[in-house]
């Protein structure tokens, strides 16, 4: 790099600055000098006055302690003569005050002779007599507005204060002189400041112009603009700094472009990931969270930044941040409520330097609610099927063992045993058939054979069949409209739906009860309901009766031959038709099963 010349060097500029600093220092010294001069003038004035007062006090003491004869003048006359001799231009008045009575024995002011013989109220006089010391202060004369100096000096005799000399001096002259000196000094200072300011502007322009350019460039860089360059005004230290700054700008532009490219890649990856991603710093506080993670946790991205991750994941009672760093397996986050299951799995990955220093933690969230739900349903399904098959098989084995042991020879017992075995066999066949039916409906290739049905006639035919075959004393009541309603449905599946619903109504209806059948035509659907007068269903069980193998009264259902799959099959079939099925019940008063079928009047008219 080329060596900077002396006359181009910033050192020369600094020398000039130092000269200006010296000039300012001289001004400071001048101010200090004026203050000291003021203090010196005041001190000299006071000292001069105190010396004159001391001489006066001595003369007054001699007169006060002097033994007088009848031929001698009065004390007040002698004191007045002495005080009148001490009149001066810078002294306004001198008084003598007696110590005991505080009476004024004399005054140097011819116009103030009427105060002689009166008591003084000056606190300054009282303090000087009591303390036997001089007391003084500067006051403002209320008549002229000028400053005066008041002095009270004790007149001592044999160590006792026999009186006090009260002096009022004109000290305003001293301040007038100082005012003139200050005026002269202020004028000189103003001239010096004018030259200093002029030189300062020139020097500031020389030094700060490139610095100001670099500042503007730094601000532009902070906003992402790397295209500007700093102008080089010279080749001194600041000029070389500008050159280095431009090189730095170029390298930062390249680095920023690389970083921005990587950031876009990372942002794209995070945005299009279906899994939630959360990143933390080394203290466990969230520094990044993508949109899927915010949705999974139902939080706002802006509000969770800087929040501890154990608090965000609601793990503060079970884990610390250090525990998560050491966690090798995933953590299950269960946010399920009584109404809705919601389960997440969190996998943790530690961000480490090559030295092993932990920089943070990456957390990946997966929604496993459906998977857990499917696993749970699969486990429940296997358990229910096993239980449902075990019961009849156990019964059959017991009866067959009895028959094998010789019960077949008993003409009364053997037929009953064979009847039970046959009943349990038929029950297993129904269960297997229902399972096969559900399996078919769960398969993707399940198809229905829909055709147009006149629903009221079809429904009456189903009801007639049950009315002819029912064994209980149950009354059927039909509330069906007297009109033709055509729906597009699979006749076999619709028959199975109604068979399951009416069979359940008959099973749980008491003797002498009544079952009501209703059909209501709505705007875009047909509402079908079957109401019994059975024991009803508890409110807390009402939402579960369409689940597979669910029974409200398990013992009674098995006794009546139910498999627990009838309503589940009906629900699947109704949904396959595009309708809905639900139940309403009052415990002890009966149950109503509702289901809907799609209904389009315009299609019906076209078909007719």
Which tens digits make up the pLDDT trace of 223-262? 777 777 777 777 777 777 878 878 888 888 788 778 777 7
Q: What is the mean pLDDT of the chain?
A: 77
Q: Distance between alpha carbon 245 and the CA centroid of its chain, in Å?
A: 39
The pair of structure tokens assigned to 110 is: 């011819």
Torsion angle of C-alpha atoms 568, 573, 578, 583, degrees rounded to 10: -40
pLDDT tens-digit readout, 189-216: 667 766 766 666 666 667 667 776 777 7
The mean pLDDT of 555-574, rounded to a whole number, is 63
**All residues at 6 or more sequence positions from 262 whose CB lies less than 8 Å from its CB, including other chains:** none
pLDDT above 70 coverage of the chain, percent? 78
The CB density around residue 86, as the number of other CB atoms within 10 Å, is 16
Do 12-170 and 273-366 agree at the fold level?
yes
Topology at the third CATH level for domain 450-607 = Heat Shock Protein 90 (3.30.565)
* Residue 112: per-residue pLDDT: 76
Question: Residue 557: pLDDT band by 50, 70, 90 thresholds?
Answer: very low
pLDDT band at 441 (very low <50, low <70, confident <90, very high): low
In this model, does residue 70 exceed pLDDT 70? no
The encoded tokens of residue 217 equal: 């460039």
If you count DSSP H runs as helices and E runs as strands, how many of each does the chain have, helices first?
Answer: 16, 17
Specify the pLDDT at position 517: 92
With cut-offs at 50, 70 and 90, classify the pLDDT of residue 554: very low
pLDDT of residue 348: 87
Q: Which residue has the higher pLDDT, 470 or 553?
A: 470
Segment among 116-120, 170-174, 379-383, 544-548 with least mean pLDDT: 379-383
> What is the chain's alpha carbon radius of gyration, rounded to the nearest angstrom?
58
Percent of the chain scoring above 90 in pLDDT: 2
How far apart CA 413 and CA 299 sit, in angstroms, is 70
Query: What are the residue ranges spanned by the domains of the chain?
Result: 12-170, 273-366, 373-442, 450-607
Question: What is the DSSP pairing of strand 590-598 with strand 525-531?
Answer: antiparallel
Select, from the ranges 126-135, 238-247, 429-438, the one with the highest average predicted confidence (pLDDT): 126-135
Determine which of 274-283, 396-405, 427-436, 512-521 has the lowest per-residue pLDDT on average.
427-436
Looking up tokens 């400071």, which residue turns up? Answer: 28
Per-residue pLDDT at 518: 92
- Report the C-alpha gap between 554 and 557 in whole angstroms: 5
Q: Please, which pLDDT band fits residue 309 given cuts at 50, 70 and 90?
A: confident
Q: Which residue has the higher pLDDT, 547 or 478?
A: 478
Contacts of residue 35, defined as CB under 8 A and 6 or more positions apart, other chains included, come to none
pLDDT number for residue 384 = 61
**String of DSSP letters for 169-188:** EE-HHHHHHHHHHHHHHHHH
The three-class DSSP label of residue 170 is strand
Q: Are 305 and 287 in contact (CB under 8 A)?
A: yes
CATH number at 12-170: 3.30.450.20
- Predicted confidence band at 1 (pLDDT cuts at 50, 70, 90)? very low
SS3 516: strand
pLDDT in the model for residue 354: 73
**pLDDT average, residue stretch 157-169:** 85
Which is more confident, 387 or 168? Answer: 168
Class of the CATH domain delimited by 273-366:
alpha beta
pTM, entire model: 0.39
Q: Does domain 373-442 have CATH number 1.10.287.130?
A: yes
Residue with the larger pLDDT of the pair 81 and 95: 95
Q: Are 213 and 243 in contact, with CB atoms under 8 Å apart?
A: no
Count of CB atoms within 10 A of residue 604's CB? 15
What pLDDT does residue 559 have?
45
Token pair 């109503």 is found at: 592
pLDDT in tens, 266-303: 667 766 677 888 888 888 898 888 888 888 888 888 88
What per-residue confidence (pLDDT) applies to 558? 45
Averaged pLDDT, 86-106: 81
Confidence category of residue 2, pLDDT binned at 50, 70, 90: very low
Strand partners, 73: none
Residue 431 has pLDDT above 80, yes or no: no
Is the pLDDT higher at 342 or at 448?
Answer: 342
Question: Among 153-167, 194-208, 319-333, 555-569, which is the least confidently predicted range?
Answer: 555-569
């Amino acid at each position: 790099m080329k060596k900077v010349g002396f006359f181009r060097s910033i050192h020369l500029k600094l020398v000039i600055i130092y000269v200006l600093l010296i000039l300012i220092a001289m001004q400071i010294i001048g101010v200090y000098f004026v203050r000291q001069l003021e203090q010196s003038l005041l001190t000299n004035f006071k000292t001069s006055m105190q010396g004159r007062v001391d001489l006066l006090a001595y003369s007054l003491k001699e007169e006060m302690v002097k033994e007088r004869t009848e031929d001698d003048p009065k004390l007040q006359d002698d004191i007045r003569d002495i005080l009148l001799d001490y009149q001066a231009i810078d002294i306004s008045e001198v008084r003598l005050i007696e110590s005991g009575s505080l009476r004024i024995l004399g005054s140097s002011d011819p116009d103030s002779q009427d105060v002689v013989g009166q008591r003084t109220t000056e606190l300054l006089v009282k303090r000087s007599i009591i303390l036997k010391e001089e007391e003084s202060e500067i006051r403002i004369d209320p008549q002229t507005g000028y400053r005066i100096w008041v002095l009270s000096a004790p007149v001592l005799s044999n160590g006792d204060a026999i009186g006090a000399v009260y002096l009022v001096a004109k000290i305003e002259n001293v301040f007038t002189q100082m005012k003139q000196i200050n005026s002269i000094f202020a004028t000189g200072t103003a001239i010096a400041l004018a030259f200093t300011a002029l030189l300062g502007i020139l020097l500031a322009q020389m030094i700060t112009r490139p610095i100001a350019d670099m500042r503007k460039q730094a601000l532009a860089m902070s906003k992402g603009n790397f295209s500007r360059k700093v102008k080089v005004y010279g080749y001194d230290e600041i000029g070389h700094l500008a050159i280095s700054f431009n090189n730095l700008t170029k390298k930062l532009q390249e680095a920023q472009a690389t970083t921005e490219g990587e950031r876009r890649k990372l942002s794209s990856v995070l945005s299009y990931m279906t899994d939630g991603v959360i990143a933390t710093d080394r203290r466990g506080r969230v520094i990044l969270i993508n949109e899927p993670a915010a949705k999974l946790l139902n939080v706002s991205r802006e509000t969770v930044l800087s929040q501890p991750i154990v608090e965000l994941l609601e793990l503060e009672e079970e884990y610390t941040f250090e525990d998560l760093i050491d966690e090798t397996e995933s953590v299950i986050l269960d946010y399920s409520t009584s109404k809705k299951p919601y389960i997440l799995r969190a996998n943790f990955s530690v961000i480490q330097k090559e030295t092993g220093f932990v920089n943070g933690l990456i957390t990946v969230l997966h929604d496993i609610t459906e998977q857990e739900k499917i696993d749970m349903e699969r486990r429940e399904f296997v358990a229910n099927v096993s239980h449902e098959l075990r019961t009849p098989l156990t019964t059959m084995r017991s009866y067959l063992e009895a028959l094998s042991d010789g019960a077949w020879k008993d003409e009364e017992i053997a037929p009953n045993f064979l009847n039970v075995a046959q009943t349990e066999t038929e029950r297993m066949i129904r269960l297997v058939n229902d399972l096969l039916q559900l399996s078919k409906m769960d398969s993707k290739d399940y198809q229905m054979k829909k055709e147009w049905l006149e629903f009221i006639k079809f429904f009456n035919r189903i009801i007639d069949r049950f009315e002819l075959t029912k064994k209980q004393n149950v009354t059927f009541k039909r509330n069906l409209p007297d009109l033709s309603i055509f729906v597009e449905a699979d006749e076999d599946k619709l028959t199975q739906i109604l068979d399951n619903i009416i069979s359940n109504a008959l099973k749980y209806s008491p003797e002498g009860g009544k079952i009501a059948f209703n059909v209501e035509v709505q705007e875009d659907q047909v509402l079908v309901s079957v109401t019994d007068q059975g024991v009803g269903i508890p409110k807390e069980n009402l939402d579960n009766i369409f689940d597979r193998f669910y029974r409200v009264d398990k013992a009674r259902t098995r006794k009546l031959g139910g498999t627990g799959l009838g309503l589940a099959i009906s629900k699947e079939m109704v949904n396959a038709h595009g309708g809905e099925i639900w139940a309403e019940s009052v415990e002890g008063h009966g149950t109503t099963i509702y289901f809907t079928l799609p209904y389009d009047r315009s299609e019906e008219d076209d078909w007719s």
